[in-house]
Amino acid sequence: MLSSKTSRWLGVVVVITLLVGGSAFGEEATNSFPAPFQDYRILDGGLSRDKRFALIYPRQNVFDDPNNWSMGLFLVSMEPFRVLTQIPIPDVIVKGSGSYSLNWYTDSSFILEDDSKWGARGVFLGMVGKDETVKIIELSQEVRKALTQTFNESHAPKFNDQVDFIFVNNGQTRWFLGNKNEVQIDCICTTDPKDLKKDAWTVRFQGVWDISKGDFTSRTITRLPKVLYYFPNAK
């Protein structure tokens, strides 16, 4: 199932969500591209506002070809067609068995959130320059770096063997490009999304990422009782 909606807050052009088992192809998916992308379509809602750029997504037959090196989600320039970069999200998401949201902005910047069961697995800021050079910043990784010391000092058990903690979407999570120079972030991270462990580690991270400086200009880390991300008004 594919759902899409347009939001008018503060310059956001479009928000789309690809739900588990859904198709990414919509009315915009009518373009033909040169090899090896002839079997790609434009993601529904993946066309920038000025129609100069798009995120393209493969058909099922591309997934079924083990020798197809181009499988993935790509940012492209439309006229003339040119691949600008591949978006570094897992194949499982590209194949439609996960979910993600995409926010386009009026300057053709975008924020792509690759979602897992509990919340964001990765959040990417994409910016296209006047010469079509592309800069991709993995904002979620920057938040992880900012939280590493706090997590280590807590001595809490890791979420699993692969990651120390995960992002949890409590309905108030915010990854917002406020202007051309900064991203406002408000998110929750935890080692226990099921709220079962007595030694769980859960925090709220609020920060402003300065794009030009490549760093946070402000950040606040608040330790939370683990119940709060399910019930924000709980005491």
pLDDT 10s digits, 48-100: 999 999 998 887 666 666 666 556 789 999 999 999 999 887 654 555 556 77
Cite the DSSP H helix spans in the chain: 60-63, 91-94, 139-154
Supply φ then ψ for residue 218, to 5 degrees: -155, 145
For residue 152, count other CB atoms closer than 10 A to its CB: 10
Q: Is residue 52 included in any domain, yes or no?
A: yes
pTM metric for this prediction: 0.79
Q: Is residue 41 included in any domain, yes or no?
A: yes
Number of structural domains the chain divides into: 2
Are 148 and 216 in a shared domain? Answer: yes
Are 160 and 75 in a shared domain? Answer: no
Are 103 and 4 in a shared domain? Answer: yes
Mean pLDDT, the chain, as a whole number? 79
Q: Is residue 126 included in any domain, yes or no?
A: no
223: domain range?
Answer: 139-235
Are 88 and 146 in a shared domain? Answer: no
- Stronger pLDDT, 6 or 26, i.e. the higher one: 26
Q: Is residue 218 included in any domain, yes or no?
A: yes
Are 84 and 186 in a shared domain? Answer: no
Are 147 and 84 in a shared domain? Answer: no
Residues 187-217 pLDDT 10s: 999 999 988 888 999 999 999 999 999 999 9
